[in-house]
Amino acid sequence: MRISKDILQRTITALVLGVGFWLLYIYLPPFYFSYVLVIILLQIIFFEWKNLFAYSSPLFWAVLPLYPILPFYLLIQLNNDPAYHDLLLILFILVSSHDTGSYIVGNLIGKHRISPAISPKKTWEGFLGGWLFACIGLALIVWEQGTSLPGWFVIGFALLVCSLAFWGDLFESWLKRRAHVKDSGHILPGHGGFLDRFDGILFAVFFFYIFKDTLVAIFLKQCAMQ
């Protein structure tokens, strides 16, 4: 019964957040999405970060500018630039697909743990399930945009982003294990805090930002030329 309740809460929260972000991103000017990102960052800084580090700890102030402030800054920069705005959709869909697949497959058949000392629930089966979901998500993006990309690229690119998202998730799990907390916060029923939901994105966004011009040429310019 407890597991069913957790899954129900997680599913409802994910649907509400997913639909809300989708509508905000698609139908409103980029400023509004950036505004929401700033609010989420402030929520993390003032209400969740203190659960991971004490205010008096030098690490509180040393890590904060690099994670999570810098990755959120990169997200906002990509969102505000019309040339790179659509890359965020690819980033969010891939990471959310990976998270969903990892959770579902890991709970159903996950047996072989990846790093039990840091995050006992993460399994190789869950990671592979997340990779499969991400491949499907990326294939749907490619199909919807009408681009022509080889299957090996879709599989390889999804694996790369999933690996970055996994390391982001594992890093945040290490922070929580170090602080002896289960979640970064409690604002999202079934998920924890916003940092728990953005941990994978905050690692993957570095790759998207550094190679933004290349990714635009691969995913977006092909579509514009057709």
Give me the domain span that covers residue 91. 2-225
SS3 23: helix
| CA trace torsion 101, 86, 185, 38 (10° rounding) | 180
Closest CA to 151 of 141, 139, 133: 139
| Average pLDDT, rounded, for the chain | 89
Total-model pTM: 0.90
pLDDT digits (tens, 9 = 90+) for 4-27: 566 667 677 777 787 888 888 888
SS3 113: strand
pLDDT given at position 188: 80
Task: State the Rg of the chain over Cα.
Answer: 17
pLDDT digits (tens, 9 = 90+) for 39-67: 999 999 999 999 998 888 888 899 999 99
- The CA distance from 8 to 140, in Å, is 26
pLDDT given at position 4: 54
Closest CA to 200 of 175, 157, 166, 156: 166
Q: Token digits for 75?
A: 């997200």
Adjacent-strand bridge partners of 113: 123
pLDDT digits (tens, 9 = 90+) for 161-190: 999 999 999 999 999 999 999 889 888 876
Domain count for the chain, please give it: 1
Question: For residues 165 and 200, is the Cβ–Cβ distance under 8 A?
Answer: yes
Is residue 225 scored above 50 in pLDDT? no
- The CA distance from 171 to 158, in Å, is 20
CB-based contacts of 188, cutoff 8 Å, min separation 6: 13, 17, 194, 196, 197
Q: Token digits for 189?
A: 């029923």
Closest CA to 89 of 160, 185, 18: 18
